[in-house]
Copies of this chain bind each other. A is one copy, B any other.
Amino acid sequence: MSSTWGNKLKITVFGESHGTAIGVVVDGVPAGVELDVGAIKAQMARRAPGGDFSTPRKEADEPEILSGVMDGVTEGTPICAVIRNTNTKSSDYSALKDVMRPSHADYGYRVRYGEHNDYRGGGASSGRLTAPVVFAGAIARQLLAQKGIKVVSHILSVADVEDDRFGTEISEETIKSLSGSKFPMLNAEKTETAKKAIEDARKDGDSVGGRIECAVVGVPAGYGDPLFESIESVAASILFSVPAVKGIEFGNGFGIAQKRGSQANDEWYFDEGKNVKTRTNNNGGVLGGISTGMPIVFNVAIKPTASIFKEQNTVNLATGENVRFSLKGRHDPCIVVRALPVIEAAAALAVWQFVGE
């Protein structure tokens, strides 16, 4: 059982890449919120295929809202949104029923679900299932915004091209600038080399991975729970449901493991306005599972797109043979750019669990 997540906002995702439709039920949205559907669609457009760095599969990803909203205002009842799959070419996949694509979910699913697993386009393991998550996350963002909390992210790396990291404090200007960019990086000079790394991979029929750094700015101290519902636990549980995410670190993360305590500790101070802050944010805004009042900062590792056009080795389960095969169809050379709104959506949903009513 795995399609429902969350508590204050409980989301239930359904659908397969090449089925009739995908969608989500979002339960727990307070009544009386004027839903900004345009803003939701803008988030979904960031994720949708067809952008500069993505597959040519063009799909409007137009959500139809079936419930929970009357005259543009939420009713307090579950909001169901359905997105039809309009541009499915299942024929691309018929050859793949028994041939397991490397680094895809195919084989585990086949064992788990037997022959009736929907292998077309990865079925329920498809990255397409992140569209409903973005829909739900866009609602969470609106709820967070009402409390002055913002979610922002940037491309921290593509292949071996590294962006700068967020500083200890994150300005309104930075948030605005990144949010308005189709290829958000803090260090503008790195943009072209990062794009080139993607383009090079595409030309080679190959793919590249990268990292996304995400910040949730404006969460007051004192939110979160000890032990099993630490902010990190809750955030990681939804972030690791995003396909291709293979690692998560908060604050300085793996870097902190190389430090001494005297270097790593975030010292507290009263600022001039008598607010309690830390001079560094090596812990990423979370200590003991609970927010410190500093920005909640984490980054995730996104693996290179598993679908590449180079010939690969694999197995054919029907014949029992080791085989070589090549993929056809439409595949992004790098999904980091399209993953940005997904990671932000997951972060928004995670944080709302704690600050929400």
Contacts and interface: CB of A to CB of B under 8 A. Distances in A.
A267 B102 CA distance: 5
Contacts of A269: 313-315, 322
A103 B265 contact: yes
Contacts of A276: 100, 107, 315, 317
Contacts of A314: 267-269
A260 B308 CA distance: 10
A351 interface: no
Interface stretch (A53-61, A142-150, A168-176, A246-254): A246-254
A247 B288 CA distance: 14
A305 interface: yes
Given A14-B78, A246-B251, A269-B322, 5 more contacts: A3-B228, A31-B117, A108-B290, A253-B301, A261-B310
Interface stretch (A17-25, A42-50, A186-194): A17-25
Interface in A21-36: 21-23, 25, 27-28, 31-32
A20 B81 CA distance: 11
A209 B261 CA distance: 8
A214 interface: no
Contacts of A64: 20
Contacts of A22: 67
A102 B287 CA distance: 10
Of listed A32, A104, A204, A301, residue having the most chain B CB within 10 A = A301
Interface size class of A (residues with CB under 8 A): 35 or more
A115 interface: yes
A131 interface: no
Contacts of A160: 258
Interface string A195-235: 00000010010111111000000001111111111101110
B207 A260 contact: yes
A292 B20 CA distance: 28
14 contacts: A2-B225, A19-B68, A76-B112, A76-B117, A77-B226, A103-B265, A109-B226, A157-B257, A159-B260, A237-B237, A247-B254, A257-B302, A260-B304, A265-B304
Given A2-B228, A2-B229, A257 B266 contact: no
A108 B224 contact: yes
Contacts of A88: none
A305 B261 CA distance: 6
B12 A27 contact: yes
Contact of A268 (B107, B113, B289, B293): B107
Contacts of A86: none
Interface string A76-107: 11111010000000000000000010111111
A224 to B, nearest CB: 7
A241 interface: yes
Contacts of A107: 221, 268, 276, 287, 292-293
B315 A264 contact: no
A27 to B, nearest CB: 5
Contacts of A288: 104-105, 108-109, 122, 125, 243
A169 B247 CA distance: 21
